[in-house]
Amino acid sequence: MLVLSTQSLIPERDGDAEAPIMSPVISGAIETLDQGLQFLTRITDAQYGYDAQPYLSSSIGQHFRHWLDIFHALFQEGSHVDYNQRRRGHEVETQRQIAIEEILYFIERLKTTKTSDLIAPVVIATEVSLKKSKVCLMSSTFERELTFAALHANHHFAMAKVVTTLLAIETSDDFGLAPATATFIRGQ
């Protein structure tokens, strides 16, 4: 049985009594974006664009472009989120500084997102078939899609970690871990 919780709608202050109240979903997304930002400041442009084939078919830059596209779709004006809008071949795939600037932009946008905005209804458009072009429209909320965007970024961080491992570059132990995996590890 699926049990729904409204806990995500309960704001938190992250331990600072003077800090503005922030939803756990927003603070978690900012935490994810900051993790990506910190990672990018520790690698070079050459590492960002490194072709890791045959192990991975995409560079770190291509992985970052992909998950940033998800955030771009989510933050478009209006209540329609089109996940099929991609920027394949965009300079963000090869220029680490552009990815850094985009991450900083989304962090600032999230800092000004109201907790009440999280329950706003959205309609998402996404491809659902490999064999033929089939776009489906689905109802969701901004909160659910923000959670998806952050978790999707985390998944691509794991792919980026594979590339840095191939290049013998150390990353933080929790880079690319899903929140549920981190919770499991803390319980060990």
Averaged over successive runs of 10 residues, the pLDDT of the chain (188 residues) comes to 39 50 92 97 96 89 96 91 87 96 97 90 92 94 97 96 94 91 88
* pLDDT at residue 1, rounded to an integer: 36
Chain mean position to CA 106: 10
Options 3.40.50.300, 1.10.287.3510, 1.20.120.450, 1.10.420.10; CATH of 24-170: 1.20.120.450
Chain mean position to CA 17: 28
* pLDDT at residue 7, rounded to an integer: 44
Rounded-to-integer distance, Cα 152 and Cα 106, Å: 15
Helix, strand, coil percent values for the chain (each to nearest 5): 50, 10, 40
* pLDDT at residue 15, rounded to an integer: 54
Alpha helical stretches, state H, 119-166 = 142-166
* pLDDT at residue 43, rounded to an integer: 96
* pLDDT at residue 163, rounded to an integer: 94
pTM score: 0.85
